[in-house]
Structure 1
Amino acid sequence: MADSFLFKSVSEPVVLVRRFAFSLAIATFFLMALGSATRVMNAGLSCPDWPLCYGELVPAAQMNLQVFLEWFHRLVASTVGLLTATFLGIALWYRKSLPRWLPVAAGWAFFLVLFQGILGGLTVTELLRFDIVTAHLGTGLMFFCTWLVITVTLLPYQAYNTVGKLPWFGSAAAAFVYLQSILGALVASRWAVHQCLAGAELCSVVNTHIAGVVPASLSTLAVIYLSWRTTALHPALRRLAYTAGIFLLMQVAIGIGTYMLHLQIEPLTVLHQAVGAALLGTLVAFTALAWRDRTEAA
């Protein structure tokens, strides 16, 4: 991701921290996909206790696919938490060689991962209560976006000063997609599609999510269109905008397919959430870079 963006030399601590942040973004993306698979496979309560699983670090005697999914999800989450604490320590240790805002951003990421851990525990102790499960995914997406913003903000970048109002449009598109993701999490946590198809219950929740496609899609298309019309736009911004368009098309197609197949194809349901997170991440990266172009040129 970074090599094509390089325009000037940077200090070694910045390079280290940027790569670390991007690695954590990738790990968080994988963790969210794993969490989606755990939910789709009805494995969320396969470990009935928390933080251990059947009172053990590795429940070998009880291990099956569902127990493995929940146990492995916790293992990856714990690893991400430890790496986030390590990142905060590095940011504080090298604070004199890093931007002043970085320790604050690292502290925010550390707060989010602690809060996410609490929510993860509550999802088990409160027996997958839908509002806690929804908040769990919402916090995970915010955590993912935090690492992307840190990564993009640390990239060496030469401002073109041609973005105009694109930072505002990017911010709006990212916000609409994030809200749409929360609605999707609410639909998933309440199993609203299944209940709507089976007995016309919770159809209003499903319809709200379907209606949310409109503002999320239109705002994303506006970003793509304006990026296309801006002839002198930085190539990195143009690539991110077009990538968002690809993810948008994929997400709409997968969403329609998932609904038409009544959520019977589990990998398709997991892919729907993963592509949604990828779309959000692309828009967040675009917006962060567009704001850099605007402010640094000024």
Structure 2
Amino acid sequence: MTTSIASQLQRLCGHLAIATWLLIGIGGATRVMNAGLACPDWPLCYGSWLPWQQFNLQVFLEWFHRLDAAALGLGTLVLVALGWRSRSHLPRGWPWAATGCLLLIGLQATLGALTVTELLRFDIVTAHLGTALLFLVSLLGLKAALQPRSPLTAEPAVPLPFIALAAIAVYVQCLLGALVGSRWALHQCLAGSQLCGVLQSHLWGVVPTTLLIAILAGVAWWRGQRRWASQLGGLLSLQLLLGWGTYHWHLQIEPLTVGHQMVGAALLGFLASSGFRAHFSPLSSVPEESMYDVKQRQQTEVPA
């Protein structure tokens, strides 16, 4: 693999992943600000690419959300084109995986259009977020597949299936949270005892998901990956705190609701990125102390 090509594509995947995470936050802000139908048509907004006369906060949010999504699509197209042009220098199957990301962009655009034309139908809104999260995870997988094969990059020293199980649990929780939000289940349950089952499914899902992540962080700490365990525990604690605040104030504080969605996506991305790094590293079982010894030996080794 040519190092320069791999590093360029790695950086592009990283930039696109960050852009996707930010777009998820913008989409959350669009929902909580009731701006999902601020532009009544699609892909134009009030029949124009730039509806100056209709601009207010809600129209701007929906318009900017679409603009950001279009820019992300163009970036993914560039990623795919570069991948196929440099396919002889990349791992086998990498260009096809990148093409799969482009297909996810097409599906996401379709769901975005249906979100408007179907008047924010809850299942479409939930699928819209679910596809965005899958796209984020796919980009992190593409990035990890290009990582240098070195014991110094092999982390974390925890069972890969356990990481995958925790990531799946977080993904399901994100979908349940989107379902609660898209159906306004919290408001309806508190106001008239309707859709309480939808709300309870998300609340009860917190328990096994939290236990999985807590055990995962504990195992990582015990095996010497204390920095990784601290980062994971910090994300979990922040997510639980934001979730409590969102529930306590009945979704009335918009930044809390948006932050809850973004930290959930960040937690999923953290787990997915760690799992992919462990999967693609042939030395993923090397503990942190051993990696330190390898680094010290490389620095002090004198050529014969």
TM-score (norm 2): 0.89
Check whether the contact 1:36–1:273 (CA below 8 A) recurs between aligned residues: yes
Question: CA, structure 1 residues 163+24, in 2 after alignment: closer, same or farther (shift >3 Å)?
Answer: closer
Matched residues, number? 285
Question: CA, structure 1 residues 162+208, in 2 after alignment: closer, same or farther (shift >3 Å)?
Answer: closer
Q: Look up the match of 2:50.
A: 58
User: Which stretch shifts more, 115-124 or 148-157?
Assistant: 148-157
Q: Does 2:92 match 1:100?
A: yes
Q: Deviations over 1:88-120 (max 9, x none)?
A: 000000111111121011011001000000000
Where in structure 2 are there 5+ consecutive unaligned residues?
287-304
TM-score (norm 1): 0.91
Q: Look up the match of 1:114.
A: 106
- Cα drift, residue 198 of structure 1: 1.1
Q: Deviations over 1:138-195 (max 9, x none)?
A: 0000001111121222222423789676101100000100001110010011011111
The DSSP-based 3-state class of the residue aligned with 1:49 is coil
User: Which stretch shifts more, 59-68 or 239-248?
Assistant: 239-248
Question: CA, structure 1 residues 162+129, in 2 after alignment: closer, same or farther (shift >3 Å)?
Answer: closer
Q: Look up the match of 1:5.
A: none
Q: Calculate percent identity across the aligned residue pairs.
A: 49
In 1, Cα distance between equivalents of 2:162 and 2:73: 33
Q: Does 2:165 match 1:176?
A: no
2:145 pairs with one of 144, 149, 153: 153
Larger radius of gyration: 2
Question: CA, structure 1 residues 208+202, in 2 after alignment: closer, same or farther (shift >3 Å)?
Answer: same
Amino acid at match of 1:22: G
> Which runs of structure 2 are paired with 1:1-298 in the superposition (5 Å)?
11-159=3-151, 166-231=159-224, 238-293=226-281
Where in structure 1 are there 5+ consecutive unaligned residues?
1-8
Amino acid at match of 2:171: Y
Question: CA, structure 1 residues 220+294, in 2 after alignment: closer, same or farther (shift >3 Å)?
Answer: farther
- Cα drift, residue 294 of structure 1: 5.1
Amino acid at match of 1:86: V
In 2, Cα distance between equivalents of 1:271 and 1:10: 39
